[in-house]
Amino acid sequence: MKILVTGGAGFIGSHIHRLLLDKGNSVIVYDNLSRGFKQSIDSRAEFILGSLNEKEKLEKALKEVDAVIHLASYIAVGESMENPFSYIENNIIGTAYLLEAMRNTGVKKIIFSSTACVYGNPDELPLTEDSPLKEPTNIYGFTKLTIENLLKFYHKNYRFDAVILRYFNAYGPNELHTPETHIIPNIIRAVLEKQPVPIYWKGEQIRDFIYVKDLASAHLDVLNLKDFHIFNVGTGIPVKINDLLEKIFKIAGYKTKIKDMGERAGDVKATYASSDKINKIVGWKAKTSLEEGLKNTIAFFQRQEK
- Which residue from 67, 33, 22, 71 is spatially nearest to 233, judged by alpha carbons? 71
Count CB neighbours of 82 within 10 A.
12
Q: Which of 295, 289, 137, 127 is nearest to 206 (CA)?
A: 127
Contact 268, 202 (CB under 8 A): no
Question: What is d(CA 238, CA 254) in angstroms, rounded to the nearest whole number?
Answer: 24
CA distances from 11 to 72, 73, 164, 180, 219 (A): 11, 12, 19, 12, 14
Q: From the candidates 30, 140, 167, 211, give the one annotated as an active-site residue.
A: 140
The Cα–Cα gap between 229 and 50 comes to: 28
202 touches 160 (CB < 8 A): no
- Measured between alpha carbons, how far is 142 from 220 in angstroms, rounded to an integer? 26
Query: Annotated catalytic, 140?
Result: yes
β-strands 67-70, 109-115 pairing: parallel
Q: Which positions are catalytic? A: 140
